[in-house]
Amino acid sequence: MDYETPQFFRVMRYAREADRDVVDMVSGNPDWDPPSALREGLKAYADSPTEAFQYPPSVGLRDLREEIATRRGVATGQVLVTNGAGEANHLAMAAGLEAFPGAEVLLVDPVYPYYPGRASLLGADVSFVPTEVDGQLDAEAVRECASAETAVIVVNTPNNPLGTTYDETTMAALVDVAEARDALLVSDEVYDHFDYGGRFSSALAVDSPNRVVTNSFSKSMAITGWRVGYAVFPPRDGPSGDLFDRARTRHMLTTVTGSRPAQAAVLAALRETGPGYYERNRERLRERIEVFTAALDAAGAEFTRPDGGFYVMARFPDFAGSMENVERLVDEAGVAGMPGAAFGDSRADWLRFALVTPRVATAAERLADYFE
Amino acid sequence: MDYETPQFFRVMRYAREADRDVVDMVSGNPDWDPPSALREGLKAYADSPTEAFQYPPSVGLRDLREEIATRRGVATGQVLVTNGAGEANHLAMAAGLEAFPGAEVLLVDPVYPYYPGRASLLGADVSFVPTEVDGQLDAEAVRECASAETAVIVVNTPNNPLGTTYDETTMAALVDVAEARDALLVSDEVYDHFDYGGRFSSALAVDSPNRVVTNSFSKSMAITGWRVGYAVFPPRDGPSGDLFDRARTRHMLTTVTGSRPAQAAVLAALRETGPGYYERNRERLRERIEVFTAALDAAGAEFTRPDGGFYVMARFPDFAGSMENVERLVDEAGVAGMPGAAFGDSRADWLRFALVTPRVATAAERLADYFE
């Protein structure tokens, strides 16, 4: 996989330069508004005294860490605020590779392409466990693929690109695999506010020194460009208490700390935004999933119905998920998706569509017409 | 040097918990206001449509890169916007270690303690060149210390902790050393707006594929917590064109991109802030330097008169720059500085004072009284 010049950019450019109207279903940028308290929080911060514009603690604003800790039911000292979930995943992987034996990062195929990129940057070997046909992850398959060489296992639930969520039993079994293999489970849960079936279960539900949970406000507050994320590490006085310190040191020496205006506004939004905001966003996506999967049915496509997240993967009859076909779909149907090969080998015949556009219904119609 | 739990924090805590009033001359946080256009820019951004809240390009907002490129007289493609100069230095060092032969990072002693920390994180060997007695850097001494093993040379002008600036001849000679040793010169110029004698010269003045300049708006706009910095790499179609790509890849895989609210507000402030803002801040510091160095004279201290930056290093008679003496000065004089040993071996007998407090005159009086 070529993670250095992500194929995202290539497809987005092709769609932008197309000679016709194209519905962009490539990027994962939410198209709805952030909480209004976030905008107000940023304005209030802009009027702060100059002290509030200087370095926050490297690990993040104290009040923000406390707010996150309370919501997640962990100690404040376990929470490291990062430059988005991207940095949280990088730090968690790096800490796991340092602290646990072995040099391998075990990933799930299909995979969010940044994970293998990050593992390679850190000099790790990368292996993949394929998902089941229905997109679910079989913890026993992970157990078989993991070895003494495995230092880190990374999962993403709700999942990008599949839209699957892992239930409590699966998460507990994954933590158990990490413990049995003396490895670290990194559970990236950035889509946790987009759980449609109530099936999602955070890895935090299982107490263990062998798991780190990463998250961010990029998707839940529709602010992918603000870069406020966090990682929850095992308690610092426990068996893996060094993980937090390792991550904090790397964070300090690479980025020093995260941007304070964004942290301050996210804190205000966390405090003042009720559950209605998140429920409205879920409801909007539920409707889009209905419309889009109905069109996939009409087009005779094979697909996994998402029970979480923003994405649908689908395979159309006699239409491989290649870059050539992605470009053909842009030109001939006016819909831009991502080639499955961008997410690994196992779904190279599939295409991924992101449902974060108000024009999902238009795209659905176009696809149904094109393949009918 | 113990860079993992910086001594800054230890001294600041000691001063905070002291039983008496203490002037904090430890941290490098500006105590003056940011440009008013920065506050206004942040408020205007808060009212942007949701698209403006999503991922900016990984390399930074296009308009911000262009504005920086125009001001620095380089191509936009050479500018990588980073999470502060901290990340810019990390990326430049990492790219230099990858692209140039050798595994050594050569630093100047006294040193900003994050540099050796970053070099160690990247697995590099660290060596030091001492400055001259007057705090200046002799490029010929750098030439002698550099070897075939040297991949990266890092300098900081205007200098933290010494307050010295390097002139055009020195900078040209440093670039020449980098070329002769097949190494990369990283010139960290975050204090470039605080040049009091007109002596400062950016490494950008010398065209070379062997130098990268790093900078940020943390000090010039009094926003250390906003994390907007940049690095200027050699042209991408030239001999070291790969440096930009290496840094971009690492940036993408570690932090994805910098925070957009801060980038947008900095862009507005860059466009709308005239030279008067920067000149007022320089004038304020010139006055503080006068008052403080007069007190150092009265106290019989040896010191380097700063011609740039925020800091003064001084050695008091029979008063070593140890942590014990720093704590004694807090308790007995009510002034908190940093022990010289935090900045390396060569000035372990000295103390460093930061002039970013409105109470410089009070601190000056207290020191003069204490040592008289």
Label residue A9 by pLDDT band (50, 70, 90). confident
Tell me the two tokens of residue B104. Answer: 């050594």
Mean pLDDT value across residues B174-193: 98
| pLDDT for position A372 | 82
Q: Average pLDDT in the B281-287 region? A: 97
What percentage of chain A reaches a pLDDT higher than 90? 94
Nearest CB to B259: which of A40, A46, A226?
A226
pLDDT surpassing 60 at residue A13: yes
B4: contact with A, CB 8 A cutoff = yes
| Inter-residue contact A85 to A218 (CB < 8 Å) | yes
Is the per-residue pLDDT at A2 higher than 60? Answer: no
pLDDT of residue B248: 96
Q: Which helix (H) or strand (E) holds B132?
A: none
- Kindly state the tokens that stand for B234: 């050699």
Averaged pLDDT, B196-212: 97
Judge contact between A148 and A181, C-beta under 8 A: yes
Check CB contact of B93 with chain A, cutoff 8 Å.
Answer: no
Provide DSSP, A310-351: SEEEEEBTTB---HHHHHHHHHHHSEE-EEGGGG-STTTT-E
Residue A5 has pLDDT above 60, yes or no: no
pLDDT for B148 equals 96
3-state secondary structure of B130: strand
pLDDT of residue B1: 43
Tell me the per-residue pLDDT of B252-279, one tens digit each, with 9 for 90 and over: 999 999 999 999 999 999 999 999 999 9
Predicted TM-score (pTM) of the model is: 0.96
Q: Determine the residue type at B18.
A: A
Q: Give residue A277's pLDDT.
A: 98
Portion 26-65 of B in contact with A at CB < 8 A: 27, 29-34, 39-40, 42-43, 45-47, 50-56
A112 closest CA partner among A157, A66, A57: A157
What ipTM was predicted for this assembly?
0.96
Nearest to A30 by CA among A269, A258, A284: A284
Q: Name the amino acid, one letter, at A244.
A: F
Q: Is residue A4 over pLDDT 80?
A: no
H or E, element range at B215:
strand B211-216
Using an 8 Å Cβ cutoff, are A163 and A187 in contact? no
Which residues numbered 276-315 in A keep a CB inside 8 Å of some CB on B? none
H/E element, A66: helix A62-72
Segment A118-127, tens digit of pLDDT: 999 999 999 9
Tell me the pLDDT band of B4, cut-offs 50, 70 and 90: very low
Q: Does the pLDDT of residue A91 top 60, yes or no?
A: yes
pLDDT at B2 over 80: no
The 10s digit of each residue's pLDDT in B321-368 is: 999 999 999 999 999 999 999 999 999 999 999 999 999 999 999 999
Q: Where are the beta strands (DSSP E) in A256-319?
A: 302-303, 311-315
* Higher pLDDT among residues A60 and A322, named by residue: A60
Amino acid, single-letter form, for residue B109:
D
Mean predicted confidence (pLDDT) in A149-156:
98
Q: What is the mean pLDDT of residues A73-87?
A: 98
Tell me the per-residue pLDDT of A341-369, one tens digit each, with 9 for 90 and over.
Answer: 999 999 999 999 999 999 999 999 999 99
User: d(Cα B299, Cα A315) in Å, to the nearest integer?
Assistant: 80
pLDDT bucket at B5, cuts 50 / 70 / 90: low
Q: What size, in residues, is chain A?
A: 372
Q: What's the pLDDT score for residue B8?
A: 80
> A11-20, A247-256, B74-83 — which is least confidently predicted?
A11-20
Q: Nearest-CA distance from B229 to chain A in Å?
A: 10
Nearest chain A residue to B259 by CA: give it: A226
Inter-chain residue contact A224 with B258, CB threshold 8 Å: no
Average pLDDT over residues B99-121: 96
Distance CA A27, CA A12 (A): 8
Backbone region of residue B107 per phi and psi (left: phi > 0; alpha: psi in -120 to 50; beta: other values): beta
